[in-house]
Structure 1
Amino acid sequence: MEYKTNKCLNMKQSKFLRPSLLSLGLALGVSASAQSVPDSSRIVQLEEVQVVAGRAGYRTPVSFSEMKKSELKRSAYGQDMPYLLSLLPGVVATSDAGTGLGYTSLKVRGSDASRINITTNGVPLNDSESQGVFWVNMPDFSSSLRDVQVQRGLGTSSNGAAAFGATINMRTEQYGLTPYAQVDLSGGAFGTFRRSASIGSGALSNGWAFDARISKITSDGFVKRADVDLNSYFFQSAYHHNGTLLKLITFGGKEKTGIAWNGIDPNKMDKLGRDYNSAGFMYKDAEGKEHFYHNTDNYNQRHYQAILSQQLGDRWSLNATLHATRGLGYTDEYRTGRKLKEYALKPFELEGNKIKKTDLIRQKHLDNWFYGLITSAQYRAESYDLTFGASANAYDGKHFGYINWIKQYSSPLEPEYRYYDNKSDKKEASAFAKINWQPVSGLNLFADLQYRGIRYKMEGVDDKYSDTDKRMATLDIEQSFNFFNPKAGVSYSLVDGHVVYASVAMGHREPNRKAYTDAGSKGFPTEEKMIDYELGYRWQLPSFAAAVNFYYMDYKDQLVLDGRFSDVGELLFSNVPNSYRMGVELSAGWEPCEYFTWNIAAAFSRNKIDKYTQTFAVYGPGDDDFELRTEEMKNTDISYSPSVVLSNLFTTRYKGLELGLQTQYVGKQYLDNTMNEDRSLKAYCVSALRLGYRLPVSWVEDFSLGLTVNNLFNTEYSSNAYVYDTGYVKGEDGKLTAYNDLRVFPQAPIHLMGSVSIRF
């Protein structure tokens, strides 16, 4: 986040601003290339080739921010990536367990992670079906990252699903030229303990270099039974010779996480406690004590990448990446009072009674592969850069479920009985070409053309019971999409340090799996279309940098969150014909002296649906008195889209000591698209205090201590919520009384985390 003043910097040098100022770690949307030491410049140049196709540069007419490794390290106590990025403009992070570990997510410009394009070394990280990213499967991944770039809006063309809110482009660690070893330990509240060890060979005489890391994170979590047991690894081998760089990379994680995605009824919070978790409830004993089964999520994910970069003279560079991702895991859940027919089971007799509903334990499994090839080439001329590329990816997924136990069941269960079993196949091919052209000094013209073709197929028995067909629902879905996504923009630099830019971009996006399987009476979803208009200004001085960006995102058939949750904790969507997001993003960083830095970021937005049809239930006094009604509403706010997001970071340093105070304010969010105050999440403001000290010792390269006080002012707040049930009750007199049953996710109170890092 911070940058330091170079006392020897003069005005003639000011156009080469320091990388830390330009990245403005947690605040600014400006960037430039770092200067490399001479003996590593060739390697750095080749490293840049690997991801240049999807990265924005200083004169690219898009809004973006960057975080360097040093900034990621300052914030890393094992928390997932959403919390490390949470002070960037318009970013909101959420946590089921209340501590930033386990199941976490983020939103940018009101768009959730399933609508944010996320890549690692240019390889898509979003799940092909849900389109989300499950950071719990990649614990401590930030320890192996070189940097992260967040582009807001459609951004530049990238691999994978379209970016309807942002693009997050992560680069893994650049291999070191000298050998090293490092140990990181951190821990604190709620039994949290992180241990990580990494080692690197440095550049060997034969051209090879090796880096490796292993990590383990355990925590009880703030919310009861939201414990985590997270294991991860990272390994890369790199070969460099003349203009060739080959990197073989594998990373992954194995997690066992206590399920906490039910949330808690806010009306019962005082009685049950903010850390109450209903997941796994079995029964109350005679003394009124509740007993629980430990519901867990268990998943193993491994990523493999082979990246070849080739420099051909001074102008041409080529890049090719082979990749594969393996995912395998399941949820293990105790479910109370479930209808047997929902699991393709028949009623059974017990003491003369016919049992149709009972308790059971289910497992829902995923078994998938994602693999493909990505290629790109870049040509650099005196006045223009041309980049083009193509990719082809395939996804093979299996979904199936077991019933492991049924309460008082009189018949033996088949050990391999699957109450649902279906498979998915998704294939995608894309190609792009883009150019940055400087016809005259200071003027940059940008154009970007992309084609995406997708074929998505699902078949088999689904996990939902069809009351109409009196059996488990059958999936037989096959759809194809062909998208053309043009982008164009211009940037102009009047003088060094001042850039103004404008761009317009078109994007299309296919629906995710849940939009099909949970569509219900709404029917199958349609593709989304969006035109993104951006206008911005960047200003850079040696000790000050600022950026302002205006945007208008015009949607057709946008899939908006409608406040519902699936039974495995995923928010559900429905199409709305016309909607838009518009706003302004501000960011600034100032260093008046070498001892103090001030960074701020602000996002103000208006997020609206032109017409929205609400469907709600009306229950009468009789058992069978029930009807569904609809209400058409106009100019309503889009759900989960705060109109104000503010962040502030003060950093002071003296010699080896650094002290940082960070604060974030997130405005009110509606939980569905009706603007009903009773179905909203209150605004909150939360702060953290960070203390770091680098010991002046000579026997190691670095010896650092850290202490963080999270939720400094002990604020009681919830970062996420959903609508469990809503509707009206009709009295005898015909009067309707509204009811709203919400679930919220309370966050942890004030708590401490400490760290030790030693690098040899």
Structure 2
Amino acid sequence: MKQSLKGFLMAAFMLLSGAIMAQETITGTVNDVKNLPLPGATVKVKGTQDVATTGIDGTFTISTSVTSGSITISFMGFSSQTLPFTVVAGTPLNLGPVTLAEDSEELDAVVIVGKGVIDLAQDRRTPVAVSNISRKEIQEKSGNQEFPEVMKNTPGIYVASQAGGYGDSKMFVRGFDQTNTAFMLNGQPINGMEDGNMYWSNWSGMTDVANQVQVQRGLGSSKLAISSVGGTVNIVTKATDLRKGGFAQSMIGNDNYNRTTVGYNTGLMENGFGASAMLTKWSGDGYNRGTYGEGYNYFLSFGYKANERHMFNILVFGAPQQHDQNYTKAISRYLEQGRKYNNNYGFLDGDYLSERVNYYHKPVANFNWDFTISDKMNLSTVAYASWGRGGGTGNYGSSSNKKYTADGHIDFTTIRNNNRALTDGIGNVANSYLIRNSVNNHAWYGVVSNFNHEINDNFSYNAGVDLRTYKGTHYREVSNFMGLNGFFVNDNVQYPDYTVTEQFSANPWSAFTNKPSNTQKIDYDYDERISYLGVFGQAEYKTDDFSAFVQGAVSNQSHVRWDRQQYSRAEEKSDKVNNTGYNIKGGASYTLAEQHTIFANAGFYSRQPYHDNIYLSFGNAVNPFTENEKITGLEAGYRFRSDIIDINLDGYMTRWKDRVTTTQNTAVNTITGNEEQLFTVNSGLHQFHTGAELEAIAHPTSDFSIKGFASIGNWKYKDNVFTRIYDESRNLVADDVYKTGTTSLKGQSVNEIDGRKVGGAAQTSYGLGASYKITKGLSVDADWRTYDKLYSSAVIKDNVEIPSYDLVDAGVTYKLNFSNTSLVFRLNVNNVFDEVYLSEITTANQVTPTSVNYRGINVTNNVFFGNGRTWNFSMRYNF
């Protein structure tokens, strides 16, 4: 037995030695046109998994098992080069210096900072389900659309709610909404700390500054102590540009859309300093009536390359904006008033006035430090801060005092006259109507630091820390008295019986100076502190054909709130709640042949509940039923790589237990009898998502490219769920608001949903896109997508499916190159054939023998119609 084992080990050693000896070595240097080295350039042997990165002096060494083929050398902002090679067996090959020219198709050359913190998949050898959206695609196709729209041609992605107004889009990944997808900006987490949500209106300038977007579906490659269920979206912005120059761009679009952008870069100067700046002004009426919006985007970046080991960058980005909003409503309303109908606005003295305005300004500051300790070790750190100021408007007072005109809009004239008729013009919550601001301010500070060590050619590891602290302040103030002289408040425990006489403007600039006193607030007034500490680590082993990794993270969150409205001074502070979460994931890949790779990943997350689910009914009482959500994920895939086509095939299974969801609907409050915005909270959800995804990218010729994708999912609920319903003032509403499929139980409902379909996103989708360069400077592109198996987002026993639909987008680009400048024209047309479709349904009222139906759906259901044909045209001058 021992002799057999010894013989086996010797044979294995000889085979391994032979494999090692069969490796060929290729070296070279990568420079720019000024003969300066390009550190961080990617060098890859085409059709294989063999890849290397240039060092700080631009040199590279790559090992490969093939003796002939081609090498591709790429660096963001520069044109890639593909070089043929032939190696004499056993003799190293030196390609000599390779010069990369600045890419005329890219807008600027950039320095990527925080490379050790930004979780891009190429940083790890083992594959994950990932799709990349280039800067060129973002700039060309985004136009006047919301940022999530740049990801709509990606498998597993569904984007909805564009009809709500500028910045109100929602994105789903594999059927999970954006509260359960991690969004990272240059390594900084940007999901809301309280509820995990993404408010895209705060990031309206992202399309102007994004260099790359990488969508990692499922477990992803994130090293941080975050537990994303749907996936991770890494947004990499521009930083301090390498070259001197600038641009000016003007864009127009449907519904009076206008956007003007200017930018300038000093370039990286001889003293190591550089700066980049950009400013945008935009405005538009919105596709639906009553969805006007306007705002600014600003971007400043200061870089300093101290030496070859230290690079620093300070980045400031903000997007102050305000936009009027639209909500889902019954199909019958649209059939009466038209598909662009919005009942959130009216007219006062002939002037337009909206009851629903979102206004916010959230400056973000990043400080990045990249420290190259040695050619094997580096440390990357990002310290960040954001200061959010703003909120949203809405009605306050008795809904019975809210009046509508015959055409279905708010009758502000009658409302004002009724208010003026009150004694002394002083209203209260029972006899008057006003417009309030719901203020949501915050201050958020954090640090993410990651140390990476490449021990040898086969083994590497990294470890890091993720620290965050968040202070949120929430209260309501009067935005428009609507003819009142004051508003009497008698429900404040700490300040009983006072009259509010001040009103505060709803715009993102004054939000920074609005500071009402305690006796000028209405309805609620509370703060919350969330502190977070996470540690994470990853180890990876790789050979030419095999790689394996393991990642782990542990985090602790603490929560506390102060409520000045509902509690006395002695009792205003809640109990402090601490929750610990963790995740572990790992995977392996194997290259069957030079072009074929298979892989599998698995992981388990124990994720802490969000702050809004910890405290009952927005009070200080701790919810005894909250517990960590449990997520189990499995994924397997296949990769094919060739000079002409790349194919990615992925299969996944995600089991998610003990989750909580909140949905918003216009419905009748059975206590007041009035139509209001009501919030349905479901706890104890158990979801089971399985599916398969296919993505193919082909380049038959240098002028023609094709991209296709397919996603087929089967997303179902397991077990039953508990349901509670609240009004806008966070009061618990009787549990008989929605009776379908529910049974009363102690102030909440048991919803029998076991085996029912999960809604909100299309479970089946297909897409095909193509781009063709007709002549020098002139190119056209088009994308087709179809969506099917789209169910209501209502968590209910008998769900409703809306009809499938197809969309086609198209664009044309024309570029004129001059000696040192260029002029670029771009036209986009979205929904070319003006298809009428439902993009979202939030209720599940069944068809009955007596119901009125629209395309097989009961017209009492609340929906959004998708946008019809839209367009934008831009002209950009680069200098």
Same fold (TM over 0.5): yes
Provide closer, same or farther for how the CA distance between residues 276 and 210 of structure 1 changes in structure 2, counting only shifts above 3 A: same
Greater CA deviation, 403-412 or 56-65? 403-412
Query: Match of 2:173?
Result: 108
Between the two proteins, what is the percent identity of the paired residues?
A: 19
- Give the Å deviation of 1:407: 5.9
Correspondence 1:442 to 2:517? no
User: 1:474 and 1:740 mapped to 2: Cα distance?
Assistant: 46
- Once the two structures are superposed, residues 57-84 of structure 1 have per-residue CA deviations (whole angstroms, 9 ceiling, x without a partner) of 4632421111121221121314222001
Correspondence 1:388 to 2:427? no
Query: Match of 1:487?
Result: 585
Give the counterpart letter for 2:593 in structure 1. Answer: V
- Give the Å deviation of 1:639: 2.6
Task: Judge conservation of contact 1:401–1:418 (CA < 8 Å) in 2.
Answer: yes
Query: Match of 1:343?
Result: none
Greater CA deviation, 541-550 or 625-634? 625-634
User: 1:529 and 1:568 mapped to 2: Cα distance?
Assistant: 34
Provide closer, same or farther for how the CA distance between residues 444 and 519 of structure 1 changes in structure 2, counting only shifts above 3 A: farther
Task: Judge conservation of contact 2:752–2:797 (CA < 8 Å) in 1.
Answer: no
- Give the Å deviation of 1:607: 0.9
Task: Judge conservation of contact 2:631–2:657 (CA < 8 Å) in 1.
Answer: yes
- Once the two structures are superposed, residues 41-68 of structure 1 have per-residue CA deviations (whole angstroms, 9 ceiling, x without a partner) of xx98974634355645463242111112
Provide closer, same or farther for how the CA distance between residues 693 and 383 of structure 1 changes in structure 2, counting only shifts above 3 A: same
Provide closer, same or farther for how the CA distance between residues 77 and 628 of structure 1 changes in structure 2, counting only shifts above 3 A: closer
| 3-state SS, counterpart of residue 49 of structure 1 | coil
- Once the two structures are superposed, residues 20-44 of structure 1 have per-residue CA deviations (whole angstroms, 9 ceiling, x without a partner) of 9xx9xxxxxxxxxxx995799xx98
Which of these two proteins has the greater Rg computed from alpha carbons?
A: 2
Query: Match of 2:532?
Result: 428
- Give the Å deviation of 1:254: 0.3
Provide closer, same or farther for how the CA distance between residues 108 and 514 of structure 1 changes in structure 2, counting only shifts above 3 A: same
Task: Judge conservation of contact 1:77–1:194 (CA < 8 Å) in 2.
Answer: no
| 3-state SS, counterpart of residue 604 of structure 1 | strand
User: 1:328 and 1:570 mapped to 2: Cα distance?
Assistant: 25
Query: Match of 2:596?
Result: 498
Task: Judge conservation of contact 1:428–1:453 (CA < 8 Å) in 2.
Answer: yes
Query: Match of 1:537?
Result: 638
| 3-state SS, counterpart of residue 493 of structure 1 | strand
User: 2:341 and 2:110 mapped to 1: Cα distance?
Assistant: 50
Query: Match of 1:612?
Result: 720
Q: Could you tell me which of 638, 651, 662 is aligned with 2:783?
A: 662
Correspondence 1:747 to 2:848? no
Task: Judge conservation of contact 1:214–1:232 (CA < 8 Å) in 2.
Answer: yes
| 3-state SS, counterpart of residue 204 of structure 1 | coil
User: 2:676 and 2:599 mapped to 1: Cα distance?
Assistant: 43
- Once the two structures are superposed, residues 533-562 of structure 1 have per-residue CA deviations (whole angstroms, 9 ceiling, x without a partner) of 010011111110100001011122133456
- Give the Å deviation of 1:517: 6.2
Correspondence 1:322 to 2:371? no
Correspondence 1:279 to 2:344? yes
- Give the Å deviation of 1:277: 0.9
Provide closer, same or farther for how the CA distance between residues 487 and 613 of structure 1 changes in structure 2, counting only shifts above 3 A: closer
Provide closer, same or farther for how the CA distance between residues 688 and 577 of structure 1 changes in structure 2, counting only shifts above 3 A: closer
Provide closer, same or farther for how the CA distance between residues 657 and 66 of structure 1 changes in structure 2, counting only shifts above 3 A: same
Query: Match of 1:29?
Result: none
- Once the two structures are superposed, residues 210-258 of structure 1 have per-residue CA deviations (whole angstroms, 9 ceiling, x without a partner) of 1111111111001112111021111111111211110011101100111
Provide closer, same or farther for how the CA distance between residues 193 and 579 of structure 1 changes in structure 2, counting only shifts above 3 A: same
Give the counterpart letter for 1:670 in structure 2. Answer: S
Task: Judge conservation of contact 1:612–1:673 (CA < 8 Å) in 2.
Answer: no
- Give the Å deviation of 1:479: 2.3
Whichever structure has more strand as a proportion of its residues is: 1
Query: Match of 1:718?
Result: 838
| 3-state SS, counterpart of residue 84 of structure 1 | helix
Give the counterpart letter for 2:795 in structure 1. Answer: N
User: 2:205 and 2:170 mapped to 1: Cα distance?
Assistant: 15
Give the counterpart letter for 1:434 in structure 2. Answer: Q
Task: Judge conservation of contact 1:77–1:187 (CA < 8 Å) in 2.
Answer: no
- Once the two structures are superposed, residues 438-491 of structure 1 have per-residue CA deviations (whole angstroms, 9 ceiling, x without a partner) of 2x43110111011111112223157xx9xxx9xxx9884642211121111101
Correspondence 1:358 to 2:424? no
Q: Could you tell me which of 249, 252, 266 is aligned with 1:184?
A: 249
Correspondence 1:370 to 2:438? no
Provide closer, same or farther for how the CA distance between residues 572 and 374 of structure 1 changes in structure 2, counting only shifts above 3 A: farther
- Give the Å deviation of 1:671: 2.4
User: 1:188 and 1:195 mapped to 2: Cα distance?
Assistant: 12
Aligned runs of 1:645-684 on 2, under 5 Å?
Answer: 645-654=765-774, 655-667=776-788, 668-674=790-796, 676-677=798-799, 679-684=800-805
| 3-state SS, counterpart of residue 329 of structure 2 | coil
Task: Judge conservation of contact 1:565–1:572 (CA < 8 Å) in 2.
Answer: no
- Give the Å deviation of 1:741: 4.1
User: 1:721 and 1:613 mapped to 2: Cα distance?
Assistant: 20
- Give the Å deviation of 1:145: 1.9
Provide closer, same or farther for how the CA distance between residues 312 and 751 of structure 1 changes in structure 2, counting only shifts above 3 A: same
User: 1:264 and 1:382 mapped to 2: Cα distance?
Assistant: 59
User: 2:677 and 2:70 mapped to 1: Cα distance?
Assistant: 50
User: 1:674 and 1:84 mapped to 2: Cα distance?
Assistant: 32
User: 1:629 and 1:559 mapped to 2: Cα distance?
Assistant: 14
Task: Judge conservation of contact 2:117–2:449 (CA < 8 Å) in 1.
Answer: no
User: With structure 2 as the length reference, what TM-score do the two structures score?
Assistant: 0.73
Relative contact order, higher structure (CA 8 A, sep 6+): 1
Greater CA deviation, 606-615 or 197-206? 606-615
- Give the Å deviation of 1:593: 1.9
User: With structure 1 as the length reference, what TM-score do the two structures score?
Assistant: 0.84
Q: Could you tell me which of 351, 362, 369 is aligned with 1:308?
A: 369
Task: Judge conservation of contact 2:629–2:656 (CA < 8 Å) in 1.
Answer: yes
Aligned runs of 1:407-422 on 2, under 5 Å?
Answer: 413-415=500-502, 416=517, 417-419=520-522, 420-422=524-526
User: 1:315 and 1:36 mapped to 2: Cα distance?
Assistant: 24
Query: Match of 2:274?
Result: 209
- Once the two structures are superposed, residues 363-406 of structure 1 have per-residue CA deviations (whole angstroms, 9 ceiling, x without a partner) of 11122100011111111121122111112110011001113455
Task: Judge conservation of contact 1:554–1:579 (CA < 8 Å) in 2.
Answer: yes
Query: Match of 2:647?
Result: 546
Give the counterpart letter for 1:507 in structure 2. Answer: Y
Correspondence 1:459 to 2:562? yes
Aligned runs of 1:635-650 on 2, under 5 Å?
Answer: 635-650=755-770
User: 1:368 and 1:45 mapped to 2: Cα distance?
Assistant: 31
User: 1:323 and 1:216 mapped to 2: Cα distance?
Assistant: 25
Provide closer, same or farther for how the CA distance between residues 739 and 664 of structure 1 changes in structure 2, counting only shifts above 3 A: closer
- Give the Å deviation of 1:350: 9.3
- Ranges in structure 1 where 5+ consecutive residues have no aligned partner: 1-5, 24-34, 341-346, 732-737
Query: Match of 2:477?
Result: 402
Greater CA deviation, 475-484 or 549-558? 475-484
Give the counterpart letter for 2:875 in structure 1. Answer: V
Task: Judge conservation of contact 2:586–2:601 (CA < 8 Å) in 1.
Answer: yes
User: 2:847 and 2:346 mapped to 1: Cα distance?
Assistant: 28
- Give the Å deviation of 1:354: 11
Q: Could you tell me which of 582, 592, 595 is aligned with 2:690?
A: 582
Aligned runs of 1:205-244 on 2, under 5 Å?
Answer: 205-240=270-305, 241-244=307-310
- Give the Å deviation of 1:267: 1.4
Greater CA deviation, 395-404 or 632-641? 632-641
Aligned runs of 1:502-517 on 2, under 5 Å?
Answer: 502-516=600-614
Give the counterpart letter for 2:149 in structure 1. Answer: Y
Provide closer, same or farther for how the CA distance between residues 290 and 38 of structure 1 changes in structure 2, counting only shifts above 3 A: closer
Query: Match of 1:73?
Result: 139
Task: Judge conservation of contact 1:189–1:751 (CA < 8 Å) in 2.
Answer: yes
| 3-state SS, counterpart of residue 142 of structure 1 | helix
Task: Judge conservation of contact 2:259–2:283 (CA < 8 Å) in 1.
Answer: yes
User: 1:53 and 1:426 mapped to 2: Cα distance?
Assistant: 24
Greater CA deviation, 592-601 or 516-525? 516-525
Q: Could you tell me which of 701, 708, 712 is aligned with 2:821?
A: 701
| 3-state SS, counterpart of residue 222 of structure 1 | coil
Provide closer, same or farther for how the CA distance between residues 613 and 385 of structure 1 changes in structure 2, counting only shifts above 3 A: closer
- Give the Å deviation of 1:17: 8.2
- Once the two structures are superposed, residues 100-137 of structure 1 have per-residue CA deviations (whole angstroms, 9 ceiling, x without a partner) of x3322211111111111111111111111121121211
Query: Match of 2:328?
Result: 263
Task: Judge conservation of contact 2:608–2:629 (CA < 8 Å) in 1.
Answer: yes
